[in-house]
Every structure is written in C-alpha cells, then in structure tokens.
C-alpha cells in the first residue's frame, strides 16, 4: 500500500469548494423507517419474538439519502422527485426543510405511496439491536405522463443552474433512463457531469459521465463473476465503460475498498478507509455517490473524487442506520490517514 501525503492537501482544497457547488439530484425518494423493540419473550401464538416497542424514526433513504448527504457536505442541493401525500412523504419534506433544502422540485402525488422501507430491529436492554425483518411499501405503478413531464422540466431548469446532475435510480420510475433523456434534450445539461447510481438497470442509461456501482451490481449487469481477481475486475470495468460510453467509473468493493477507472489513466485500487468490521452498510452507496459527485462538481479528478468518496464510505459504515458524513469528518479523516493506493 502506498501513501500519498501531498494528495491529502489537494483533497482538503477540494472540500473547501463544496459550499460553492450546486448539485441537482433526480431521485427515487425513499423514507427509511426504523422501529426499535426490546425483546420481551417468545410468543405463545407462533415461534416468534415479542418486542416491546421503544422507538420509531423516519429518515431520508434511497435517493433522499444522497440528497441528505450532499446537504451535510455543505453542498447546495436541488432535489427533483415524487412523494405521496402521506405521513412518510410529509416527514421527508420536513427533514429537507429542516436542513434548508429547497423542496419546490419535489412533486406530491395523492395517488402514489411514498416508497417506505420499514426495518424492525430487536435487542436486549443493553445489547446492540439487530434487524429481524424489513417491510417495503411501494407505489403500484411508475409516475404517469403528467408527473414525468413535470420531473423533466424541473430537473432541466435546476440542472442549468448546477455544477452537476446526480441520478439516483432505485427502480421506482422518478429517475428513469427516459426521464434523463428528456432532461438532456434541448441542451438541458450544458455539458455538466452526470453521475449515476442505478440499482437494477445501469446499462439502459446513456449519456452519463460516471457511474458508481458496487461489485455485485457489476457482476449482475454483465453476467460475470469477479471475486478477488483484479484482471477480471478491470475487464468488467472496461466492458461497462465501453457499453455505457462513460468517462469514468467507480466500483465499490465492500471491505476491499473501491477501484477507479478512467478513459486515459491506469485503474486505481483504493483500500478501505478505517476498519473492515462495519457496523451498518445501509445507505453507504448513497454517501459514496453524493461525495463523488460533489467532488467532480468542485473540479476534482476521478481519482481525487474516488478518494474522497472512499473516506466517506469508510466513515458512514461505522454508523448505525441510514447515516450521513459531514465535510468536517472528511477533513479529519484526511488528516488522520493520507490517501492510499494499492499497486498492481
């Protein structure tokens, strides 16, 4: 492993630019609900635990978590998406307003359910809580033509005043390839970088600058097995970049860190920051793409943006639940451990 102390100073300068950067986020907005219970006993009705309810919280998840992360990085963020006229939707908007995030680009559809992922966590009084089940509530259909048109118009207007566009596609229809194509029409993007986090249909997008899939998503998209083989990882990355016409690609690899690929430079293998004994990976991909996009918008190279995203990912997986990383935490991380790479 090779340390790069001088690069750390460059990363700090990039972080200084974050408050001057504006990012539009086209996103599937998700409400992450956490219900905490204390294990009371085993039920007589069925072999299941009875939990004594202790706490319930709802926080921004999915694309809403990427928006939340950008706000905590002190980036000016302009979200575009859809929520239902229900409690999770109202709480998402309240959370955004609390952080002074503009919500005029978020449409409200009385006929839609806000995507809500409810995690039930159980534990003893003084022990760590473990997730025992997750319940997902999802819309029955994608946004109709009226809402699709409104999403395109809002995102196009915001993107013209932004330094980057982040697309967070969880498959619920508010951040689809068709909507991105509509935004790009009529010179709607002016050449700003477009970053993509797509859970299920990465290869259907075109005109994207960079993507940040994890390794299982790459394997699923291409029908390959990578494992610990660096050559296979590089080959898969080259296929993705060619098929999607990407300028850069970041593949996150869990405890193995991440790898950065560009058109003109050799691949960069970045070891994980911090411990590989993670507390919770919920929403870590949202943190990674938020930090990566903010860095690109601030003028960073692909490798510099990947290094900052790697720090952010290493920090956020040590936090419980859907969490964010602050600009100050990134500065502290750089001071604690200079950026590193692994030679190949």
d(CA 309, CA 287): 8
d(CA 324, CA 119): 18
Per DSSP bridges, beta strands 115-123 and 130-137 are antiparallel
How many residues does this entry show for the chain?
A: 344
DSSP assignment of 8-29 equals HHHHHHHHHHGGG-EEEEEE-E
Q: Identify the sign of the CA torsion 78, 82, 86, 89.
A: negative
Tokens 């050799």 map to which residue? Answer: 266
d(CA 301, CA 8): 13
d(CA 308, CA 326): 12
Is position 286 annotated as part of the catalytic site?
Answer: yes
Beta strands in the chain (DSSP E): 2-3, 22-27, 29-42, 49-62, 76-84, 106-109, 115-123, 130-137, 164-169, 194-198, 210-211, 248-252, 258-262, 268-270, 340-341
d(CA 167, CA 344): 32
Other C-beta atoms lying within 10 Å of the C-beta of residue 323? 22
Out of 109, 163, 269, 286, pick the active-site residue.
286
Residues classed as catalytic:
286
């Amino acid at each position: 492993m090779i340390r790069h102390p001088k690069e750390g100073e460059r990363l700090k300068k990039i972080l200084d630019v974050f408050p001057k950067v504006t990012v539009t986020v086209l996103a599937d907005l998700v409400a992450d609900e956490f219900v905490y219970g204390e294990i009371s006993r085993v039920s007589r009705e069925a072999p299941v635990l009875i939990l004594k309810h202790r706490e319930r919280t709802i926080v921004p998840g999915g694309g809403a978590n990427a928006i939340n992360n950008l706000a905590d990085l002190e980036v000016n963020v302009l979200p575009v998406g859809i929520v239902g006229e229900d409690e999770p939707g109202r709480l998402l908007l309240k959370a955004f307003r609390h952080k002074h995030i503009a919500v005029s680009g978020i449409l409200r559809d009385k006929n839609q359910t806000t995507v809500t992922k409810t995690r039930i966590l159980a534990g003893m009084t003084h022990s760590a809580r473990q997730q025992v089940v997750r319940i997902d509530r999802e819309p029955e259909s994608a946004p109709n033509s009226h809402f699709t048109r409104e999403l395109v118009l809002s995102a196009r207007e915001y993107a013209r005043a932004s330094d980057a566009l982040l697309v967070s596609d969880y498959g619920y229809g508010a951040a689809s390839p068709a909507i991105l194509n509509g935004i790009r029409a009529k010179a709607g993007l002016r050449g700003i970088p477009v970053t993509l986090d797509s859970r299920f249909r990465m290869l259907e997008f075109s005109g994207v600058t960079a993507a940040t899939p994890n390794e299982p998503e790459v394997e699923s998209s291409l029908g390959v097995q990578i494992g610990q083989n660096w050559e296979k990882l590089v080959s898969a990355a080259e296929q993705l970049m060619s098929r999607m016409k990407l300028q850069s690609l970041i593949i996150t690899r869990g405890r193995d860190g991440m790898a950065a690929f560009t058109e003109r430079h050799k691949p960069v293998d970045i070891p994980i920051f911090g411990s590989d004994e993670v507390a919770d990976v919920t929403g870590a991909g949202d943190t990674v793409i938020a930090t990566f996009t903010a860095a690109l918008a601030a003028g960073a190279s692909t490798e510099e943006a990947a290094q900052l995203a790697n720090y952010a990912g290493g920090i956020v997986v040590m936090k419980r639940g859907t969490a964010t990383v602050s600009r100050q935490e990134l500065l502290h991380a750089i001071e604690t451990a200079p950026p590193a790479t692994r030679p190949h």
